[in-house]
Structure 1
């Protein structure tokens, strides 16, 4: 479990593929301690440390992860967001983020207002019920607030601190971003499947 408050960023130094497995190695940031078996969020994806040497940390990803995320599009030299998993005494500065990506969204517009930026992101319609204005969403592992909901997506605002401490400052129109919607909204959506009349007026059938 994570909070969506990115600790640091790092650079990809090596990418390899073998028998369907993608292995990503990143530089170990100063003061970022991660041991084999630890969980680390990379661009919002819950990842297991499988090794590392000479100042690097290594992770592996199976085909299912690559189908649901944008990790397969990454290239050597790109910057990724890193966050270690929460502990019982961690501050929860963002919101509960599981690291299980729901879908990939596409940036359709980037606008600037002063020193801040706004990203407009298109998402598949099946995820629309999980988007709420002023609700929480994780974009590339960053805990953000939905500014507005549109007919085919939503927008988020990025303050200067977020732009300087995450990789969201590098995102451009047409780029894909990992999205994880609020965990409570997802459970509520599933629960409503067992109460077919919960969303209608009393006594009114669909």
Structure 2
């Protein structure tokens, strides 16, 4: 379990195709604290550490993950938001984040507002996910609050600290981002809609 509070940025230093999988080698100050078999959220995607080497570590994304996230577009030099699992005695500074991306969204607008930024995002509402006004959303692993919430679109405001210490400062209009919708909202929607046969 994660909280959506980003601990550090990592940089992809190598990618390697292996059948339908891709190995990612990532450089970060956190690497020396990691161990093999540990779960880390990478832009909101929970992946398992399979190797550590000094300031680098390796994770592997399988075809299922590559098909449902933006990881297939990751290349050398990309900055990635990193968060380790929440310790049992930790604080919930963000919200409940599973590290399971629901779908990919698209940045449709970026507006600077006196030192903060407003990002407009769109997503395919036919997948069945929803946002609510002032509800929680995870974008590239970052816990944020929605506003201008509509079917298929919403906005978030980014403060200077978050902008500088996550990969939001690298995003451009048209970029794809990983979205994990609020787990409580997903349960409520399932209760109300039931299962389709």
Q: TM above 0.5, one fold?
A: yes
CA distance in 1, matches of 2:140, 2:68: 13
Instruction: Give the 3 Å change call, closer, same or farther, for CA 30–87 of structure 1 in structure 2.
Output: closer
How many equivalent residue pairs? Answer: 196
CA distance in 1, matches of 2:36, 2:181: 28
| Contact map agreement 1:15 1:22 (CA 8 A) in 2 | yes
| 67-76 vs 53-62, greater mean Cα deviation | 53-62
| 86-95 vs 136-145, greater mean Cα deviation | 86-95
| Contact map agreement 2:9 2:79 (CA 8 A) in 1 | yes
Tell me how large the CA RMSD over aligned residues is.
1.7
CA distance in 1, matches of 2:32, 2:147: 32
| 26-35 vs 79-88, greater mean Cα deviation | 26-35
Listed one character per residue, the Cα deviations across residues 55-82 of structure 1 (whole Å, up to 9, x for unaligned) are: 2110001100001000110110110000
- Aligned-pair CA distance for 1:194: 3.8
- Aligned-pair CA distance for 1:130: 2.0
Counterpart in the other structure of 2:103: 103
What is the correspondence of 1:119-158 to structure 2 with a 5 Å cutoff? 119-126=119-126, 130-158=130-158
Instruction: Give the 3 Å change call, closer, same or farther, for CA 94–17 of structure 1 in structure 2.
Output: same
Partner SS, residue 185 of structure 1: helix
| Contact map agreement 2:3 2:93 (CA 8 A) in 1 | yes
CA distance in 1, matches of 2:186, 2:113: 32
- Aligned-pair CA distance for 1:191: 1.9
Counterpart in the other structure of 1:35: 35
Counterpart in the other structure of 1:202: none
TM-score normalized by structure 2? 0.94
Counterpart in the other structure of 1:164: 164
What is the correspondence of 1:4-43 to structure 2 with a 5 Å cutoff? 4-29=4-29, 33-43=33-43
Listed one character per residue, the Cα deviations across residues 136-191 of structure 1 (whole Å, up to 9, x for unaligned) are: 00000000000211453111000001001100111000000000000011112222
CA distance in 1, matches of 2:151, 2:187: 23
> Any stretches of 5+ residues in structure 1 without a counterpart?
197-206
> Any stretches of 5+ residues in structure 2 without a counterpart?
none
What is the correspondence of 1:166-205 to structure 2 with a 5 Å cutoff? 166-194=166-194
Counterpart in the other structure of 1:203: none
| Contact map agreement 1:128 1:153 (CA 8 A) in 2 | no
